[in-house]
């Protein structure tokens, strides 16, 4: 499904986002408001969303919305994130990648692998694994079916909000999380 063309996505925008799955990247308090972010590691607006959501009282789920047509390295970086995740390093990988937006080519990936203490051979094999590609493609398909139109798209209560979360949305999430 290279390029992930919308024409290949029947029911575009008509489906609910999938429930949290066992293979999702999840962090935060299970009792906190659920926020599902469909993002891309090459997208500067996704990096802003990442920063805005850091430390917020939410149960954060990250899913890939890697659109190769918009960002040529998006799919490769999504695969790299999944490979890091197979070594229990998805969240540190994501943090480092968003912090280093201008350093997204392979030599920088390998340096990041080394800094995070990952096994490079395993990382390289995993990022080329067909299951990793299928996982990323499934996330993109789900995002399109749910109506995501931009990177990032932040879903709260099943409603998509394109772009980084606004102050009003963050305030509502904080109010819901307050005891």
Note whether residue 8 is domain-resident.
no
Please report the pLDDT score of residue 165 as a whole number: 92
In whole angstroms, what is the distance from residue 41 CA to residue 64 CA?
9
Please report the pLDDT score of residue 10 as a whole number: 42
Tally of domains in the chain: 1
Please report the pLDDT score of residue 50 as a whole number: 95
Note whether residue 117 is domain-resident.
yes
Note whether residue 58 is domain-resident.
yes
Predicted confidence (pLDDT) per residue in 25-38, tens digit: 999 999 999 999 99
Nearest to 78 by CA among 134, 36, 121: 134
- What CATH number is associated with residue 112? 3.40.30.10
Contacts with 133 (C-beta within 8 Å, 6 or more apart), sequence order:
79
Nearest to 163 by CA among 47, 67, 5, 33: 47
Please report the pLDDT score of residue 1 as a whole number: 32
> Which residues constitute the domain of residue 55?
25-174
Note whether residue 47 is domain-resident.
yes
In whole angstroms, what is the distance from residue 60 CA to residue 34 CA?
6
Note whether residue 87 is domain-resident.
yes
Please report the pLDDT score of residue 14 as a whole number: 60
Note whether residue 10 is domain-resident.
no
Low-confidence stretches of the chain (pLDDT < 70) are 1-14
């Amino acid at each position: 499904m290279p390029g992930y063309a919308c024409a290949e996505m029947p029911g575009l925008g008509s489906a609910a986002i999938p429930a949290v799955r066992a293979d999702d990247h999840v962090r935060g308090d299970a009792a906190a408001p659920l926020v599902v972010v469909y993002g891309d590691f090459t997208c500067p607006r996704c990096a802003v969303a990442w920063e805005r959501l850091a430390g917020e009282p939410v149960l954060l789920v990250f899913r890939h919305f890697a659109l190769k047509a918009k960002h040529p390295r998006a799919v490769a970086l999504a695969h790299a994130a999944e490979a890091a995740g197979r070594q229990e390093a998805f969240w540190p990988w994501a943090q480092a990648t968003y912090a280093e937006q201008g350093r997204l080519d392979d030599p920088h990936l390998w340096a990041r692998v080394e800094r995070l203490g990952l096994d490079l051979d395993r990382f390289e094999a995993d990022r080329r694994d067909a299951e990793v590609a299928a996982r990323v493609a499934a996330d993109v398909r789900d995002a399109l079916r749910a109506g995501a139109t931009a990177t990032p798209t932040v879903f709260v209560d099943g409603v998509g909000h394109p772009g980084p979360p606004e102050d009003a949305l963050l305030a509502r999430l904080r109010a819901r999380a307050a005891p």
